[in-house]
């Protein structure tokens, strides 16, 4: 029988941690301290560019994920915990797509140019509606981070529970520098 995998592939690890860092940066970039200040245009431009990068990376990650199915969670975990963990992962993907998409659609509806890190014009989506539609899309865009924070709290608490209560290797397989338990 094939040896069960005991860590995620380097591609999965890189995408997980790169996206996690970018998401945190992304939220700080758009904090009120930046967007209410004199350089608001710079920070919002940076936010749009990083958000679209997260969108592309998430699509790559989903493609990789479909081609390389996840490792099973420990079979001795209660079923509700495995379902909760997987539901959190699925909703992460939904939010990581919906957040940049609503931002991109709102900019498109309002006809606001996006220049990716000042390098090139990012195409706008063919959606009309003007400022009103943009405002509705931004209402969704401002609500979704709340779901993201709930997911992140559940996710980190779950990881800590595995590490310190179950004392299994779930955190090790996403953080291989943490020593593997026998
Ligand atoms: C914004 C930050 C984060 C996001 C969006 C995120 C998202 C995800 C997603 C979507 C998965 C499922 C991977 C898959 O099977 O397709 C995953 C797995 C995992 N994440 Fe995160 N994560 C974040 C931060 C963290 C942090 C801070 C930790 C550690 C404290 C962590 C620990 C893990 C572990 C251990 C797994 C593997 C679970 C398993 O083996 O099934 N993540 N993460
Ligand atoms: C994963 C990607 C993204 C995340 C996590 C994210 C998150 C956020 C957060 C937390 C806010 C602040 C909400 C508030 O003030 O209540 C925000 C605002 C905003 N986002 Fe995003 N966003 C993402 C992608 C994008 C993209 C791709 C665009 C446009 C192309 C965009 C455009 C905006 C704009 C215009 C604002 C309002 C800024 C202001 O005037 O204060 N976002 N976003």
Please compute the mean of the pLDDT values over residues 123-152 and round it to a whole number: 96
Q: Which domains does the chain have, with CATH numbers?
A: 10-174 (1.20.950)
Confidence of residue 3 (pLDDT cuts 50, 70, 90): very low
Q: For residue 129, what pLDDT is reported?
A: 87
Q: Which atom of ligand 1 is nearest to the CA of 156?
A: 30
**d(Cα 165, Cα 169) in Å, to the nearest integer?**
11
Model confidence pLDDT, tens digit, residues 107-128: 999 999 999 999 999 999 999 8
Ligand closest to CA 57: 2
- In percent, the amount of the chain with pLDDT more than 90 equals 85
Rg of the chain taking only CA atoms, in angstroms: 19
User: How distant, in Å, are the alpha carbons of 14, 18, 20, 88 from that of 82?
Assistant: 24, 25, 21, 10
What are 66's two structure tokens?
Answer: 């479909």
Q: Which ligand does the CA of 41 lie closest to?
A: 2
pLDDT digits (tens, 9 = 90+) for 59-118: 999 999 999 888 888 888 999 999 999 999 999 999 999 999 999 999 999 999 999 999
For residues 8 and 71, give the distance between their C-alpha atoms in angstroms, rounded to a whole number: 8
Query: Nearest residue CA, atom 10 of ligand 2?
Result: 27
| Residue 121, H or E segment | strand 120-122
Q: According to the model, what pLDDT value does residue 5 have?
A: 62
Q: How many Å lie between the centroid of ligand 2 and the Cα of residue 98?
A: 11
> Cα dist. 74→91, 97, 173 in Å?
21, 28, 12
Please tell me the predicted confidence (pLDDT) of residue 32. Answer: 93
């Amino acid at each position: 029988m094939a040896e069960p995998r005991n860590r995620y592939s380097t591609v999965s690890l890189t995408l997980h941690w790169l996206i996690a860092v970018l998401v945190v940066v992304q939220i700080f970039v758009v904090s009120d301290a930046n967007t209410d200040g004199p350089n608001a245009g710079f920070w919002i431009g940076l936010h749009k560019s990083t958000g679209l990068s997260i969108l592309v990376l998430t699509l790559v990650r989903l493609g990789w994920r479909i081609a390389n199915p996840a490792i099973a969670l420990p079979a001795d975990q209660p079923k509700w915990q495995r379902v909760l963990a997987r539901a959190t992962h699925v909703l992460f993907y939904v939010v990581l797509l919906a957040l940049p998409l609503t931002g991109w659609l709102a900019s498109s509806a309002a006809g606001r140019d996006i220049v990716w890190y000042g390098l090139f014009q990012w195409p706008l989506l063919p959606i009309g509606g003007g400022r009103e539609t943009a405002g509705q899309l931004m209402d969704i865009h401002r609500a979704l981070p709340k779901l993201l924070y709930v997911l992140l709290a559940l996710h980190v608490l779950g990881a800590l529970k595995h590490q310190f209560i179950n004392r299994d290797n779930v955190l090790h397989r996403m953080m291989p520098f943490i020593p593997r338990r026998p």
